[in-house]
Structure 1
Amino acid sequence: MIAFDTGSHRFNLRAAAVIFHDEYVLLHQVEGDDFWYLPGGRVEPGEHAAQTVIREIQEEVGASIHVEKTLCIAENFFSHNGQPYHEIGLYFIARLEAGSPLLDLTVSHHGSEGSKRLTFSWVARQRLSEIEVRPVFLRQLLQVDRVAIAHVIQRDPHFDISY
């Protein structure tokens, strides 16, 4: 994975899948966390970012997806467990294969990442402001349809989005 410590920060190159179904978006949460985020993970050396989201969804929940287009490139500066991070995030619109069990909006789905239990849930796009979503800019970005690629710079708690 492309993640390393440099000076005072940990650097991550992360890729995430934005999967919509009707007016819902698929989010996931690691057991014990109090926030939700998009499924995905850190890019492996030699792996292109779209392949990362395909691999991560397969590994974490056993589902197959098709990546359609890039939605957003984000420069995200945040702290987690006292560690400052500098993260470059690549966000891709993706769709689940027809007939995928994950398309059931009425239940939570479970997967794992190593020894960590993951919960995948569909959240109505208009209700994103009611839950803790990280990075915070996703609340705004995911509520409306985008034609152009967004470039986001987020320094908690503020962010700028340009198109």
Structure 2
Amino acid sequence: MISIDIAGTRFNLRAGAIIEHEGKVLLHRALSDDFWTLPGGRVEPGEHAAATVEREMREELDEQVACGPLLLLAENFFNYRGQPNHEIGLYFETRLAANSTLPLRASPFVVHDAGAPLEFVWFDRGQLADLRMLPMEVKDLLLNDKRNLRHVVNRG
């Protein structure tokens, strides 16, 4: 995975999936976190970001997905558990396979990823306003029906 410690800062290249179904969006979080984010993971060396999303959804959810357009490029600078981070996040519109059973899964559900428990929840779009989501622009993107590629820089 592309995660490197440089000059006291952890650099990550992350790809995320925007998965929506019948007015709901799939979000996840580590059980120890107080914020929600789009499912995904770190890009592997030599792997393009859309392939990362497809691989991560197979690994975490046992789901076949297809990536559509890139909708958000986020440069994120933040501290996580005392560690300064610089993350490039690439977020893609993502389609479930026609025979997917993911929308039928009772929500919330927990998946273990490399031993870490991740909680997944299908949220109605109307619930998003009350959630703490990172990066912050994801919420605005999900609440907006007009979607064009956005580039944002978050410090803090």
Q: What TM-score do the two structures reach when normalised by structure 1?
A: 0.89
User: Hey, what does 2:152 align to over in structure 1?
Assistant: 152
RMSD: 1.5
- Report the CA distance between 1:108 and its aligned residue: 2.4
- With 117-126 and 83-92 compared, the bigger mean Cα shift is at 117-126
Which residue identity does 1:129 align to in structure 2?
A
How many Å separate the matches in 1 of 2:99 and 2:45?
Answer: 32
Structure 1 spans left out of the alignment, 5+ residues: 157-163
- Is the 1:137–1:154 Cα contact (8 Å) retained in structure 2? no
Name structure 2 gaps, 5 residues minimum.
Answer: none
Cα distance, 1:104 vs structure 2: 2.1
Q: What amino acid is aligned across from residue 83 of structure 1 in structure 2?
A: Q
1:11 maps to a residue whose letter is F
Identity of aligned residues (%): 46
Please say if residues 105 and 122 of structure 1, whose CA atoms lie closer than 8 Å, have aligned partners that are also in contact. Answer: no
Q: Deviations over 1:115-135 (max 9, x none)?
A: 112221111123212122112
2:24 is the alignment partner of 1:56: no
Asked if structure 2 preserves the Cα contact closer than 8 Å seen for 1:102 and 1:109, the reply is no
On the 8 A contact 2:74/2:135 being kept in 1, the answer is: no
Measure the CA separation in 1 of the matches of 2:83 and 2:146.
32
Name the counterpart of 2:131. 131
How many residues are treated as equivalent by the alignment?
A: 156
Deviates more, 1:8-17 or 1:27-36: 27-36
How far apart in 1 are the matches of 2:107 and 2:10? 35
Which runs of at least 4 in structure 1 moved beyond 6 Å after TM superposition? none
Provide the C-alpha distance between the structure 1 equivalents of 2:20 and 2:57, rounded to a whole number of angstroms: 14
Structure 2 length as normaliser, TM-score? 0.93
Residue 105 of structure 1 deviates from its aligned partner by: 6.8
Offset, 1:64: 1.0
Which residue of structure 2 aligns with residue 92 of structure 1? Answer: 92
How much does 1:44 deviate? Answer: 0.2
